[in-house]
Amino acid sequence: MIILDTHVLIFDAIAPDKLSAKAHKTLEAAREKGELAYCDISMWEISMLLAKKRLTLSVDISSFLKDVISANRLTVLPISPEIAKLSISSCFSHKDPADSLIGATAIYYQAYLVTCDSKLTAVRELKTLW
């Protein structure tokens, strides 16, 4: 399973040229196998980016998310009690709860996380790709 960080989900959908060649290749291979996933908190993060006008879309957020999920055969991973517990562990020293939940989800599922977020790539317990 390959888990997408929120910015990767956005880049893949609306600005694929921002993805590294390795990230693009990884996403394509996982997409073909139906092994792409993202954390449910990413839907909230994207909504917040829209509300703060740091992201603009030509369609409403619900349509965008539904289209992205469908087109990419994405699995949406919910926050479980185990993931919530992992997200507050000492390996996540930064203050962003969404990033901690995304990282904890990748650890829980023993999955690779596609991200260019240096705070997440520095987490020793995470397997990251970019």
**What whole-number distance in Å separates Cα of residue 74 and Cα of residue 97?**
22
**What whole-number distance in Å separates Cα of residue 34 and Cα of residue 10?**
18
Q: With bands split at pLDDT 50, 70 and 90, how would you rate the model's confidence at 94?
A: confident
Q: Give yes or no for a contact between 92 and 108, defined as CB atoms under 8 angstroms apart.
A: no
Q: What is the mean pLDDT of the chain?
A: 95
Is residue 60's pLDDT more than 80?
yes
**Res 107: pLDDT:** 98
The string of pLDDT tens digits covering residues 96-123 is 999 999 999 999 999 999 999 999 999 9
**Res 93: pLDDT:** 84
**What whole-number distance in Å separates Cα of residue 110 and Cα of residue 66?**
26
User: Mean pLDDT, to the nearest integer, of 61-72?
Assistant: 92
Ordered alpha helix ranges (H), 1-130? 6-14, 21-33, 41-51, 61-72, 81-87, 97-108, 118-121
Sign of CA dihedral 40, 128, 6, 64: negative
Q: With bands split at pLDDT 50, 70 and 90, how would you rate the model's confidence at 95?
A: confident
Q: Give yes or no for a contact between 21 and 11, defined as CB atoms under 8 angstroms apart.
A: no
Which residues are registered as beta bridge partners of 114? 4, 129
Q: Quote the percentage of the chain above a pLDDT of 90.
A: 95
Is residue 36's pLDDT more than 80?
yes
